[in-house]
Structure formats: structure tokens, C-alpha cells
């Protein structure tokens, strides 16, 4: 795969770090971010040795969101199309931009977002698609689009209500205000706050490594069952997980777990893809 001007993938045993790598612009999301993100996720998905991935950012900030000035200059004719065919081009551009963040959410591999300093607009869209979110204590979050005359359209309005509730989401979206890492922790947007970026990265990698040691087929199942359950009744969710386990329970790793239990030994999962 050709290198991306925005991203860098680093592998550490069975964990990958997807780095946002535009630190000189505080990782503001220009076109290469939106263009390349689906391919970056696909590269991670296609590597059987990667069991879990972390999304982190180089530089002082996680991301200040859409690079509005550069983006408007590049796509001005699309933004300002006068007739229906021009409106359709903008509609298709938005759908194209949604693909990368949707790919993170739909990936069978768990993702952990690590946020330092600014997480604004598109940055919040990005982390809301991840399975787990940690932050350093200097982090701040903002669903900023209302302050720049945009209705957020990359997933925050759809995913945040399931993470922090409808009331918190409405307050953030309608005001566009900043909230601190502590406020984000209290409302459940992040589940851990660390002292600084170094401790943030260490915490994220520890969790990723812990996930990576579990059976990959089970991790895929957990993600699929949780995602399927959104918008469903409890009974529908229970039936779905019953079908899943009826189909997938008797795996090599399950037999290894049973054998380990009987022999009083800790089982080793994913031996064919495990990197020690």
C-alpha cells in the first residue's frame, strides 16, 4: 500500500497503532484524512496478526477537526453548487467522507481512541466510532459544528446518544461548547483519564494487549453482538447472541479454554497469529 501523508501504522506484537500524523496542523482533517482512512482500516482488518488497534495522534493535539479553510478551497465548487446536480455531488462527498469513520465502527477488530488536548468536531466523530476512549487530563472535547454553521454529519449525532445519552448529546451539539476530560469521564464519554500523553499511551497499549490475548473469534462476536443490539429490544439481542453462540461457540480457543481449566493451566489463544 502507498504511504499516506496523514496516517502512519505502527505494529507492536498483536496490536497496531494508527497514528494521526499531521502534528504541524494539530491533525486538522484535510482531504487525505478522509480519502485514506478507509484504506488504513482495511490494511488493519486484512492483517491477521493485528487483533486490536489504537488510534493516537502525534503532536500537541488529537485533532482540531475538519481543516475548514483548506477543505473549502479545494471543494468550493461542490459546496456552492447552485442546482440539483451540484447538491448531489455534495451529498456524495459527504457519504464518501463517512466511509472511514464507519469502517472503524464496523471493523471486527476492537479500537481504542487516545485523546490529548483538543478533540474537536471531526475528532469527536472519530473517537465516537471507537470501542473504548481514554484521555489525558489536558484533553477537551467539543461537538463544534454548530459554531461553524454545520450540522454534524460524520456520526457524532448518531453514536453519542448511545454512549453518553440523548440529553448530554443535545447539550453538546446545540451549544458547541468545550468539555474537560473530567466532564467527559463523568458522562461516560471516556473511561479513563491519565496524567499526560505518555501515561495515556501506556494505558491504551496495556488495554489493547489485554484484548489481543483473548480469542479473536470471541472479540469479533462481542463487537458484533453489541453493535447489533443498538436499537433492538433485549429479547432481540438475546436471540441474536444465542444464534451467534450456537454457530460459533465450539472454536479451537474454546476447546483450549476447557482443556486449560481441566488441567489447571492458563490456555494460550490465537496460537497461529500470536506474536510474542
CB 9 within 8 A of CB 49: no
State yes or no: pLDDT of 261 exceeds 90: no
State yes or no: pLDDT of 1 exceeds 70: no
CATH number at residue 261: 1.10.12.10
Q: What average pLDDT score do residues 84-95 get?
A: 88
Distance, in Å, from the CA atom of 266 to the CA atom of 269, rounded to the nearest integer, reads 10
Q: Is residue 90 located within the same domain as residue 65?
A: yes
State yes or no: pLDDT of 211 exceeds 80: yes
Answer yes or no: is 2 within a domain. Answer: no
Q: Which of 193, 212, 231 is at the close of a domain? A: 212
173: containing domain: 7-212
Answer yes or no: is 1 within a domain. Answer: no
Q: What average pLDDT score do residues 59-81 get?
A: 89
Q: What is the residue-averaged pLDDT of the chain?
A: 93
Distance, in Å, from the CA atom of 186 to the CA atom of 5, rounded to the nearest integer, reads 36
Q: What average pLDDT score do residues 186-194 get?
A: 98
Q: What is the pLDDT of residues 96-151, one digit of tens each?
A: 999 999 999 999 999 999 999 999 999 999 999 999 999 999 999 999 999 999 99
Q: Which of 195, 212, 229 is at the close of a domain? A: 212
> Which residues touch 262 (CB under 8 Å, ≥6 apart)?
none
> How many domains does the chain divide into?
2
Whole-model pTM?
0.94
State yes or no: pLDDT of 77 exceeds 70: yes
Chain-centroid distance of CA 221 in Å reads: 17
Q: What is the pLDDT of residues 120-130, one digit of tens each?
A: 999 999 999 99
CB 63 within 8 A of CB 126: yes
Amino acid at each position: 500500500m502507498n504511504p499516506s501523508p496523514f496516517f502512519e501504522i505502527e505494529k507492536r506484537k498483536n496490536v497496531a497503532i494508527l497514528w494521526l500524523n499531521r502534528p504541524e496542523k494539530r491533525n486538522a482533517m484535510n482531504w487525505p484524512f478522509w480519502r485514506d482512512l478507509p484504506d488504513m482500516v482495511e490494511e488493519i482488518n486484512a492483517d491477521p496478526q493485528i487483533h486490536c488497534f489504537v488510534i493516537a495522534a502525534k503532536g500537541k493535539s488529537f485533532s482540531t477537526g475538519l481543516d475548514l479553510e483548506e477543505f473549502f478551497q479545494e471543494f468550493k465548487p461542490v459546496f456552492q453548487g447552485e442546482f440539483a446536480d451540484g447538491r448531489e455531488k455534495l451529498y456524495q462527498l459527504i457519504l464518501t467522507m463517512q466511509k472511514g469513520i464507519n469502517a472503524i465502527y464496523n471493523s471486527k477488530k476492537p479500537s481504542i481512541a487516545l485523546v490529548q488536548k483538543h478533540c474537536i468536531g471531526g475528532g469527536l466523530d472519530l473517537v465516537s466510532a471507537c470501542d473504548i476512549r481514554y484521555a489525558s487530563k489536558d484533553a477537551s472535547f467539543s461537538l463544534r459544528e454548530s459554531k461553524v454553521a454545520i450540522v454534524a454529519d460524520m456520526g457524532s449525532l448518531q453514536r453519542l446518544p448511545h454512549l453518553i445519552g440523548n440529553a448530554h448529546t443535545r447539550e453538546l451539539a446545540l451549544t458547541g461548547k468545550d468539555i474537560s476530560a473530567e466532564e467527559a469521564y463523568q458522562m461516560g464519554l471516556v473511561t479513563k483519564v491519565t496524567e499526560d500523553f505518555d501515561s495515556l499511551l501506556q494505558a491504551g497499549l496495556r488495554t489493547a494487549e489485554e484484548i489481543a490475548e483473548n480469542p479473536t473469534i470471541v472479540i469479533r462476536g462481542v463487537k458484533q453482538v453489541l453493535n447489533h443490539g443498538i436499537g433492538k429490544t433485549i429479547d432481540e439481542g438475546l436471540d441474536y447472541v444465542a444464534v451467534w453462540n450456537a454457530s460459533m461457540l465450539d472454536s479451537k480457543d474454546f476447546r483450549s479454554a476447557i482443556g486449560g481449566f481441566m488441567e489447571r493451566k492458563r490456555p494460550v489463544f490465537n496460537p497461529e497469529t500470536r506474536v510474542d
